[in-house]
Amino acid sequence: MAVLRTVKDPEVPVISVVELGIVRNVQVADGTVSVTVTPTYSGCPAMREIEDDIRSALLEAGATEVHVRMVFAPAWTTDWIGEEAREKLRAYGIAPPGRAEQGGLITLTRRRTPVACPFCGSSDTRLQSEFGSTACKAIHVCNACLQPFDEFKAI
């Protein structure tokens, strides 16, 4: 686990794959390490790279053999990102995700919980687009300091 904590998300290099919540299980037997991971977004192009990073980090740390297995259930949720990691995101300039909505009806009115600006802390912000530079982010603009910023979407 200590080794995996050094493997960062290539798109958000301040948090590790463990903090992101995608490492679901790790088993070690005679130098062979089996890691179970779950994808963030189904189309996330970074997943392959993350697998490779996990493999090479463990091999470098002395593992003789590494197996990375992908599972889809339970589906990843941003609720698995811990408090410490949320602070790291904020410090990096990305607003951390709110609580994920549990199912429910599709509504045209978007959630109105304001997303606080990670730069000045103001809650006077507006959503620019639900789709950002990567699958996991939405774009907001702060009305107070006029800074555009990313939000890690809650899913």
Partner 1 sequence: MSDHDEDEAVTSAPSATATADIPNVAGTRGPSLGAPLVEFVLRLGDDRLVLGHRMSEWCGHGPILEEDIAMANIALDLVGAANMFLGLAGELEGKGRDADALAYFRDGVRFRNALLTELPNGDFAFTMMRQFLFDAFSIVQLEALAACSHADIAAIAAKSLKEDRYHLRHSSEWVVRLGDGTEESHGRMQRALDGLWRYTGEFFEDDTVTKAVAEQGVGLDIGAMRARFIALVTDVLARATLSPPDDAVMASGGRVGRHTEHLGHLLTVMQSVARAHPGASW
Contacts to partner 1 by CB under 8 A: 39, 41-45, 71-77, 100-101, 106-108, 110, 128-133, 135, 139, 153, 155
Considering beta carbons, is residue 5 or 11 the nearer one to partner 1? 11
Please choose, from the candidates 43, 41, 39, the residue with its C-alpha nearest in 3D space to the C-alpha of residue 54: 39
C-beta of 151: minimal distance to partner 1 in Å?
Answer: 13
Contacts of 17 by beta carbon, 8 Å cutoff, 6+ apart: 4, 7, 8, 9, 23, 37, 50, 53, 54
C-beta of 153: minimal distance to partner 1 in Å?
Answer: 8
Considering beta carbons, is residue 75 or 91 the nearer one to partner 1? 75
My answer on whether omega of the bond before 74 falls inside 30° of 0, hence cis, is: yes
48: which 2 tokens? Answer: 């392959």
C-beta of 137: minimal distance to partner 1 in Å?
Answer: 9
